[in-house]
Amino acid sequence: MAKRVVLAYSGGLDTSVIVRWLTERGYEVITYTADVGQGEELEEIPKKARQSGAVEAIVEDLKEEFARDYCLPVLRALALYEGKYPLSASLSRPLISKKLVYYAEKFKADYVAHGSTGKGNDQVRFELSVWALNPAIEVLAPVRSWEFKAREEQIEYAKKHGIPVKVEKEKPYSIDRNLWGISVECGPLEDPWTEPPKDAYQITFSAEEAPDEPDILTVGFEKGIPVSLNGRKYNLLSQLIMELNTLAGKHGVGRIDIVENRLVGIKSREVYEAPAATVLYEAYRDLLSLVTDRFTFHYFINHIPHEYAKLVYEGLWFSPLREALDAFTATLAESVTGEVRLKLFKGSVSVIGRRSDKSLYLEDLATYSEKDTFDHKAGELFTKVWGLPLKIKGLLKKKKQEFRT
């Protein structure tokens, strides 16, 4: 019986060559392609996969599952890797891995395969996810071991075997795109001193090109789920995110240029575009802080965003830690109902207003007008007790000095 493998297939050169390469080595290849909002037509994919040698080609629309089960938890954790990257590429790998395992089990395949290199983070995310879900499945990563050194060799191989290759001149970048964001690497970006060329950006305008007038945007949340933009309700979170990408991208919001630490030890220069994620993080953070008591909010903000981002980046999506952190953020999300008003202008997004029935802001306590009900006497006594440790320290210091003189 032929060895059967389910391959994560994008339809690009690498994964098309992998289909043929595995076929030559005795594997029966089933390709799996997911629509996670990469903005590409996937209709031609099955034909292309078969032309490359696949026996079966599966294409699925995962946009809503990706938005609900992957983007939303990351938003609720306000997770940003190294304080900046909203984890777009890191998030799609566990979902694709889950599907690879599902279809491997369904088609009785002992193997799954991916097209990641040995130098990146994605190999780790694919492999850890597959092992967590079904450790009996073996993961193949042909790019790590095959004979091709340069892209030209792959093109030659593809031509020789009748694999369709796009003739148009390709951009010098490696691009990974889904509805949560785009990551761009390689080419001129490899010099971290060089400003990203215009064509590195796919969905955002520069601040210079952005409109000279701001847009005011209202984002509505229900129990921690973004549900409306400017009063318009969205039943599908994926739709809301894609619409927001357009609205905020127009103003140049969500461009991120960083040198980040990869899992494999190297630093790499990355350019990201995540307009919707950037706006939603701002809005969510603001509303969460409005409806959450100080103790809980401080605990959350000091611990969760960093820890959550690290675990997603490092391939631990299918871990008890992630589930436990999700339970924590879901509890807080229960109160995140309300609206946030934001201003989008020349590459920036700023919160300019917020309201919620769950708000803990009490105007009669906060006001400096005659309506003030705050007990100022209590403030005096509180300050005395709160400052006592520093006062004691000061007193002793003073005593010592007096003793010396």
Q: Does 10 bind ligand ARG (CB under 6 A)?
A: no
Catalytic residue among 4, 76, 93, 269: 93
Residue 122 or 282 having the CB closest to ligand ARG: 122
Distance CA 7, CA 386 (A): 61
Q: Is 127 in the site for ligand ARG (CB under 6 A)?
A: no
176 binds ligand ARG (CB under 6 A): yes
Quick one: which of 14, 127, 270, 326 contacts ligand ARG (CB under 6 A)? 270
**Among residues 233 and 267, whose Cβ is nearest to ligand ARG?**
267
Q: Check 14, 176, 286, 326 and give the catalytic one.
A: 14
If the CB atoms of residues 75 and 290 are measured against ligand ARG, the closer one turns out to be 75
Q: Which of residues 62-101 bind ligand ARG (CB under 6 A)?
A: 89-90
Per CB under 6 A, the list member of 174, 194, 230, 367 interacting with ligand ARG is: 174
Contact 100, 110 (CB under 8 A): no
Near ligand ARG in 307-346, by CB under 6 A: none
> Within a 10 A sphere around the Cβ of 294, how many other Cβ atoms?
9
Q: Which is nearer to ligand ARG, 183 or 204 (CB)?
A: 183
Q: What does the buried/exposed string (b/e) look like for 376-390 if buried means 16 or more CB atoms within 10 Å of the residue's CB?
A: eeeeeeeeeeeeeee
Residues 6+ positions from 34 with CB-CB distance below 8 Å: 59, 60, 61, 62, 66, 92, 95, 96, 99
Question: For ligand ARG, which is the closer residue by CB, 178 or 356?
Answer: 178
Catalytic residue list contains 14: yes
- Per the annotation, the verdict on 364 as an active-site residue is no
Binding mask 182-211 for ligand ARG (x = CB under 6 A): -x-x--------------------------
**Which DSSP string corresponds to 39-72?**
----TTHHHHHHHHT-SEEEEEE-HHHHIIIIIH
> Of 27 and 173, which has the nearer Cβ to ligand ARG?
173
Is position 122 annotated as part of the catalytic site? Answer: yes
- Secondary structure element (H or E) that encloses residue 182, with its range: strand 181-185
Minimal distance, residue 18 CB to ligand ARG, in Å: 15
SS3 19: helix
Q: What is the separation of C-alpha 260 from the centre of its chain, rounded to a whole number of angstroms?
A: 14
Active site residue 212: no
Q: b/e string for 347-373 if b means 16 or more Cβ within 10 A?
A: bbbebeebebeeeeeeeeeeeeeeeee
SS3 content of the chain, % helix, strand, coil (to 5): 45, 20, 35
User: Could you tell me the sign of the dihedral formed by the alpha carbons of 96, 101, 105, 107, in that order?
Assistant: positive
Q: How far is the CB of 379 from ligand ARG (least distance, A)?
A: 48
Interatomic CA distance for residues 156 and 160, integer angstroms: 6
Minimum Å gap between C-beta 312 and ligand ARG is 9
Q: Which of 97, 121, 129, 335 binds ligand ARG (CB under 6 A)?
A: 121
Task: Give dist(CA 316, CA 123) in Å, integer.
Answer: 12
CB 37 to ligand ARG: min, Å: 15
**Residues with catalytic roles:** 14, 93, 122, 174
Binding residues for ligand ARG (CB under 6 A): 89-90, 121-122, 174, 176, 183, 185, 270
